[in-house]
């Protein structure tokens, strides 16, 4: 069967380990790049919507944009959202209270 003493089997085993390590490296690089690009695209989209809303509506505490985007100024945001906000773009489900009850939406923060 499989004899580790054979030089051919040692080469096969080392090639297999090298291939696995190389694949794992490339997969991790691509996953990191995807996350970073997604963060930059979301940030650019939100900043674009904020700029368009400011041009159209002037300076306001809450900006509404299509489709269903709400951008809060930090000092006017609800306290639970202020506690979650950081300097990096995050995507997480947050329960936002409404007049009819509770609704869960995904929000992006800076």
Q: Where are the domains of the chain?
A: 7-109
Tokens matching residue 73:
């100024």
Taking the chain (110 residues) in runs of 10, the rounded mean pLDDT of each run is: 79 94 97 88 79 74 69 72 71 70 64
Residue 19's pLDDT is what?
A: 97
Element at 18 (helix H, strand E): helix 7-57
Task: Write phi, then psi, for 62 (nearest 5 degrees).
Answer: -130, 125
Q: Encoding tokens for residue 6?
A: 């054979």
What is the Cα–Cα distance from 80 to 32, expressed in whole angstroms? Answer: 29
Q: What are phi and psi of 45, to 5 degrees?
A: -65, -45
How far apart are the C-alpha atoms of 95 and 49, rounded to whole Å?
23
What pTM was estimated for this model as a whole?
Answer: 0.54
Return the pLDDT at 45: 79
pLDDT value for 102: 67
């Amino acid at each position: 069967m499989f004899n580790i003493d054979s030089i051919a089997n040692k080469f096969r085993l080392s090639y297999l380990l090298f291939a696995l390590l190389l694949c794992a490296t490339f997969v991790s690089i691509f996953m990191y790049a995807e996350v970073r690009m997604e963060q930059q695209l979301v940030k650019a989209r939100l900043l674009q919507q904020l700029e368009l809303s400011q041009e159209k509506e002037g300076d306001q505490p809450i900006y509404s944009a299509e489709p269903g985007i709400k951008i809060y100024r930090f000092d006017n945001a609800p306290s639970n959202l202020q506690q979650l906000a950081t300097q990096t773009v995050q995507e997480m489900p947050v329960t936002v209270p409404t007049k009819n009850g509770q609704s869960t939406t995904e929000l992006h923060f800076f």
